[in-house]
Amino acid sequence: MKTQIVASLMPSNDTLTSEELHHIERYANDFDILELRIDGLPQCEMTTIKEMVEQIVALPVTFELLVTYRTSQQGGKGALSPDDYLQLLRQLATLDKVDFIDIEWEPNQEERRQVVEAIHQGGKVSIASYHNFEMTPTIEVLKKTYYHMSKLGANHLKIAVMPHTQQDVLTLLQALSEANEALQQWVTGISMGQLGLISRTAQNTFGGALSYGALSDSVAPGQLHVQTLAQVMPLYSIFES
């Protein structure tokens, strides 16, 4: 499977600005999926989200839509309680014209497994995500994390970690490659920051399903602009059959 490019957009107003809409339309050929990060909204209410989705789907360009609410515990701006967060995801599962929904992985996951089922019943694809902004765990811990994430039942498994050495980047890429071979789900592995840039550009080489880029401002450390990502990623696939 060819790695898909995800363009991240985190609006800070209750409606998308003309500039934000222009960026989406201008760079639509450079990405496959638009990620709408709703944790930056002043009021994260369903009416607001619905109106934003309508603004996006009204554009004369084609792509799939991912909605993500990133909690503060996972590096986002979201301040919802765990119960309110899961309730929000259940509501998002009922939205028309949304293709993907992100759900943050936690070790205690029975209730989250039910939310994943609701996402699937809503006809949407689920992305289980886990972030560590402090460090890169050992290869054994990363592989176990992918395995435990797979038990959630989500379609995609995404891990993003912070490297401090070149070896950390290699550790993440090895875990990604082995998870791709061992698990049935699509997997993504990101080594954040400047040090981990190769994990974004060479995601396809190591079996990763998604690579996230920015439409304007980066929403994660080391995130490249989607246009740059679209230009560079094919270089890592040139020798693949």
Residue 211 phi, psi (nearest 5): -130, 125
Residue 35 lies in a domain: yes
**Domains identified in the chain, total number:** 1
CATH of the domain at 177: 3.20.20.70
More confident residue, 71 or 107: 71
| Residue 241 in domain | no
pLDDT value at residue 241: 42
Mutual orientation of helices 166-182 and 139-150 as an angle, nearest 10°?
40
Within-domain flag for 49: yes
pLDDT > 90 in the chain, percent: 90
Q: Is 70 annotated as a binding residue?
A: yes
**Any known ligand binding at 26?**
no
Hey, which residues are catalytic here? 131, 158
pTM: 0.95
- Could you read off the pLDDT of 89-114 as tens digits, one per residue? 999 999 999 999 999 999 878 899 99
Domain boundaries, position 67: 4-236
Got the DSSP string for 127-159? EEEEEESS----HHHHHHHHHHHHTTT-SEEEE
What's the mean pLDDT when you consider all of the chain? 94
Determine, yes or no, domain membership for 123.
Answer: yes
| Token pair belonging to 109 | 């996951």
Residue 129, marked binder:
no
